[in-house]
């Protein structure tokens, strides 16, 4: 199919921030330097002979083994590096591979909105039919409407696409979510699950003022779901080098065969020397190397929430995972208009949520990236207080 030509909201808001000299709290990448130990290993790898040609499409074996060790260490779940782990050129390619490899034209794919912006085009390019379902967003939390799914599932439904921790809301997987999904798996034996876990280890205590990480939860830990699930991971996010484009897929052998058949005709393989560098970096010193950024991200979450509470009355949803905070718009204006005005008049760039919906639905929230220097977050909170004086009540302006 032919996709509609458009500029992503991330590129548009970043360009607007640059044009107006605004603080860029929009773009989702981390403004934190990778571990110097990783960079030194990468330098050594790039000067080593035999590291500059294609790897196997499945990926460098040393990195597949490192990914297996990560799953075993943090989730207590084993994956066979030979038959159940495939390395990809980033998590986005992994998502596309999973959808393309596991669906046929006309199949239905369920997913929740607001959704990361690659999901819808990936479903459409596979020739499948997207079936979006809206999350419930409220300052007290984000709820998945599992009770609405049976009415949307039929014989043509092939995949349920999930995302934990969720971008853009920061919602993590809860035990009751796992129970609901196990119920769906039992009721619909033809249904498969694809879960985007790009921020898989970035899971925090629900109180944003506590700088405390909590053990991550994953569908893979359910024996019922493990055999029906493709887990998509991001090594680039894990080590703070998203430009290296390294991701992975975990799946049982029957699903892995379809994934690998598709992956080899998309990118064939991820960058070989970068695979080897990350493998060497992660092969020892667990868990500190896999959680290198956690304390910095927790500090920024706590700091920004304190700044918001000190200077504004704005309602917000603090992340349970990852590094995005949702800020409620205290006026009836459309979110894209509020975001653009905030750049021009307030000097702060954020991301409106309506582009995360297939139909442009506006739930009345802006996404703020917290992975920034503390002084930028402090200035951002001050500028938000000036741009939105008086804050907002708990009533949704669109309700």
Chain segment 259-303, per-residue pLDDT in tens: 999 999 999 999 999 999 999 999 988 899 999 999 999 999 999
Closest CA to 316 of 374, 360, 368, 357: 368
Place of tokens 């920061």: 170
Closest CA to 352 of 328, 333, 336: 336
The answer to whether the pTM exceeds 0.85 is yes
Residue 193, pLDDT above cutoff 50: yes
Q: Which domains does the chain have, with CATH numbers?
A: 9-32+293-387 (3.90.1150.10), 54-282 (3.40.640.10)
Residue 29, pLDDT above cutoff 90: no
Chain segment 149-176, per-residue pLDDT in tens: 999 999 999 999 999 999 999 999 999 9
Per-residue pLDDT band for 188 (boundaries 50, 70, 90) equals very high
HEC string for the chain: CCCCCCCCHHHHHHHHHHHHCCEECCCCCCCCCCCHHHHHHHHHHHCCCCCCCCCCCCCCHHHHHHHHHHHHHHHCCCCCCCCCEEEECCHHHHHHHHHHHHCCCCCEEEEEECCCCCHHHHHHHCCCEEEEEECEEECCEEECCHHHCHHHCCCCEEEEEEECCCCCCCCCCCHHHHHHHHHHHHHCCCCEEEEECCCCCCEECCCCCCCCECCCCCHHHCHHHHCCEEEEEEHHHHHCCHHHCCEEEECCHHHHHHHHHHHCCCCCCCCHHHHHHHHHHHCCCCCCCCCCCHHHHHHHHHHHHHHHHHHCCCCEECCCECCEEEEECCCCCCHHHHHHHHHHHHCEECEECHHHCCCCCCCCEEEEECCCCHHHHHHHHHHHHHHCCCCCCCCCCCC
Chain segment 218-263, per-residue pLDDT in tens: 999 999 999 999 999 999 999 999 999 999 999 999 999 999 999 9
Mean pLDDT on 54-63: 96
């Amino acid at each position: 199919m032919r996709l509609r030509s458009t500029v992503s909201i991330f590129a548009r808001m970043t360009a607007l921030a640059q044009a107006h000299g605004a603080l860029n709290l929009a773009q989702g990448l981390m403004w934190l330097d990778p571990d110097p130990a990783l960079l030194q290993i990468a330098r050594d790898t790039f000067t080593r002979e035999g590291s500059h040609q294609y790897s196997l499409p499945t990926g460098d074996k040393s990195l597949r083994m490192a990914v297996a060790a990560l799953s075993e260490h943090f989730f207590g779940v084993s994956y066979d590096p030979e038959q159940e782990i495939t390395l990809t050129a980033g998590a986005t390619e992994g998502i596309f591979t999973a959808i393309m490899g596991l669906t046929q034209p006309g199949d239905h794919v369920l997913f929740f909105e607001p959704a990361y912006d690659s999901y819808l085009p990936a479903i459409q390019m596979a020739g499948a039919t997207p079936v979006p379902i809206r999350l419930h967003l409220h300052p007290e939390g984000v709820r998945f409407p599992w009770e609405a799914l049976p009415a949307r599932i039929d014989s043509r439904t092939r995949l349920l696409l999930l995302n934990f921790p969720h971008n853009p809301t920061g919602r993590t997987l809860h035990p009751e979510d796992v129970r609901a999904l196990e119920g769906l798996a039992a009721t619909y034996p033809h249904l498969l699950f694809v879960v985007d876990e790009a921020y898989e280890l970035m899971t925090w205590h629900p109180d944003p003022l506590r700088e405390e990480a909590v053990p991550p939860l994953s569908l893979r830990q359910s024996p019922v779901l493990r055999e029906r699930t493709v887990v998509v991971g991001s090594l680039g996010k894990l080590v703070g080098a998203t430009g290296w484009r390294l991701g992975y897929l975990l799946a049982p052998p029957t699903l892995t065969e379809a994934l690998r058949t598709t992956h080899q005709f998309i990118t064939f393989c991820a960058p070989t020397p970068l695979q080897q560098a990350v493998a060497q970096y992660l092969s020892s010193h667990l868990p500190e190397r896999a959680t290198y950024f956690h304390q910095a991200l927790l500090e920024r979450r706590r700091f920004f929430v304190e700044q918001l509470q000190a200077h504004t009355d704005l309602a917000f949803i603090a992340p349970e995972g990852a590094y995005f905070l949702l800020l409620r718009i205290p006026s009836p204006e459309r979110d894209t208009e509020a975001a653009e005005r905030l750049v021009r008049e307030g000097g702060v760039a954020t991301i409106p949520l309506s582009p995360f919906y297939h139909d442009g639905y506006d739930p009345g929230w802006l996404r703020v990236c917290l992975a920034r220097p503390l002084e930028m977050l402090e200035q951002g909170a001050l500028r938000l207080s000036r741009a939105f004086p008086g804050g907002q009540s708990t009533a949704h302006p669109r309700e």
